[in-house]
Structure 1
């Protein structure tokens, strides 16, 4: 089983019919499809591996002696990717601090999301938070409305379910939430990838080329996405621009990259490009980190 976070799509240029593979090939779940040292017998087998295969980034296997070849293209067995391992604890087992940012999402309305600050809690009774504000106006919260509350501290993400008990307006607006029965937590890896669907603009120089891309995953180190046409070669550098929403605020990122992988999509409607970010400014790193953590935290 390979480390999923290190896998990149297989490039046809790295392999050839009749040649010994010098890199092990995996499916998208990290399962071995073809070990290094195996001869690729046919064009059909190569095409199948290109469509379904991944290799480990910047990792070359030691050349091995040829092994019995595989006569048919390997098939991908669809299995769900396991989410981060959850741990259940009590509210007072977590080290909360006053002013901590909490993300509230209405249980029956996924579009209703608010950012509030933790004021404190009374064990077994209530959690007190600031009243949610959008565009400078306080949002009316109905009593008994149910919310999922999320937060993250460093590499840990937390989530718990509460109901609104009472909105208080004087002397300052704040909200009483029910005390949660349990808190779910999980550890988010630093190199974890957030599954996304973001429209981006990709540009290259010498000669000038631009294209729209649909990003499918995003991490601190890079991204991958679908572009309808073959616009660049591996190792070419360029710039990618896209918008992300962090804690209710929209941020525009424009990042330099190098193309690390190119592979035709299974549907034949474009190419999946793997981009590695280069020289990311400190401010953009903060925005990117917050977005990735926020997105993965929503899986808890």
Structure 2
């Protein structure tokens, strides 16, 4: 894996992904602040609406997007706090590295329909995947799928050639934009979603899927 150093110059409020050693999923967190070279302050990651069990000195891996690149750094938990709200202090990174930047880019898809699973109603809807990155995607549908902060899952067909197997990706709505479709003249809704709680299998799938799309676009001269 080719990696290059990168300065830690994130803006407070940025969304990051935290992966703890005791957890097999990547959890979204918010950057609350930092003081170089001491610590980075993050919101406490949640699992099913409750704070994830974390311990002082536990190693963590942090990933984030900047521009069209994906970055990561290793750290450890320095302190856990619950007052006045749950948050963490992790060690300030000794180095931040880029991870094969092309795979963090938002890759246009447009030709792919997939199933969206509404967790509360248990219903499934067919929606279009407009673009995708390692940390999120843009979904397009003729109806509003949810409000900012709501969670649902999307199902993408597996690339393993095993028939009808599909991979489930939990996500959370970050924005909803309404506009008129250029080709049909109908109202459509664009939903920016952030992946939440992805396991290693899901992350590997997205990485491979984006890599395949990049190859396809280059082959088509896109």
TM score, norm. by length of structure 2: 0.51
Aligned to 2:4: 87
Given that 1:90 and 1:181 are in contact with CA atoms closer than 8 Å, whether structure 2 keeps it comes out as no
Given that 2:17 and 2:63 are in contact with CA atoms closer than 8 Å, whether structure 1 keeps it comes out as yes
Aligned equivalent of 2:79, options 160, 166, 172: 166
Cα 1:154–1:127 shift into 2, 3 Å? same
Aligned to 2:55: 142
Cα 1:113–1:248 shift into 2, 3 Å? farther
Deviation, 1:192, is: 6.6
Deviation, 1:149, is: 0.6
Distance 2:88 2:70 in 1: 23
Distance 2:19 2:97 in 1: 15
Structure 2 unaligned blocks of 5 or more: 109-113, 116-131, 138-155, 174-187, 197-201, 209-222
Larger radius of gyration: 1
Q: Supply the RMSD in Å over aligned alpha carbons.
A: 4.2
Deviation, 1:289, is: 10
Q: Establish whether residue 225 from structure 1 lines up as the match of residue 159 from structure 2.
A: yes
Deviation, 1:185, is: 1.2
Distance 2:30 2:160 in 1: 38
Distance 2:60 2:6 in 1: 18
Aligned equivalent of 2:15, options 101, 112, 136: 101
Distance 2:195 2:50 in 1: 28
Deviation, 1:241, is: 9.2
Deviation, 1:173, is: 1.5
Task: Name the structure, 1 or 2, with higher relative contact order (CA <8 Å, separation 6+).
Answer: 2
Deviation, 1:248, is: 7.1
Deviation, 1:121, is: 0.5
Cα 1:293–1:119 shift into 2, 3 Å? farther
1:165-196 C-alpha deviation (Å, 9 max, x unpaired): 10111112111100110001142254879xxx
Distance 1:100 1:294 in 2: 25
Any runs of at least 4 consecutive aligned residues in structure 1 with deviations exceeding 3 A, and if so which? 189-193, 222-229, 240-244, 246-249, 281-284, 286-297
Aligned to 2:29: 116
Once the two structures are superposed, the pairs formed by residues 184-263 of structure 1 within 5 Å of their partners are: 184-186=97-99, 187-188=101-102, 190=105, 225-227=159-161, 242-247=166-171
Deviation, 1:112, is: 4.4
Once the two structures are superposed, the pairs formed by residues 26-105 of structure 1 within 5 Å of their partners are: 83=1, 85-91=2-8, 94=9, 96-105=10-19
Aligned to 2:91: 178
Distance 1:294 1:124 in 2: 35
Structure 1 unaligned blocks of 5 or more: 1-82, 194-199, 202-217, 230-239, 250-280
Given that 1:105 and 1:114 are in contact with CA atoms closer than 8 Å, whether structure 2 keeps it comes out as yes
Deviation, 1:224, is: 7.9
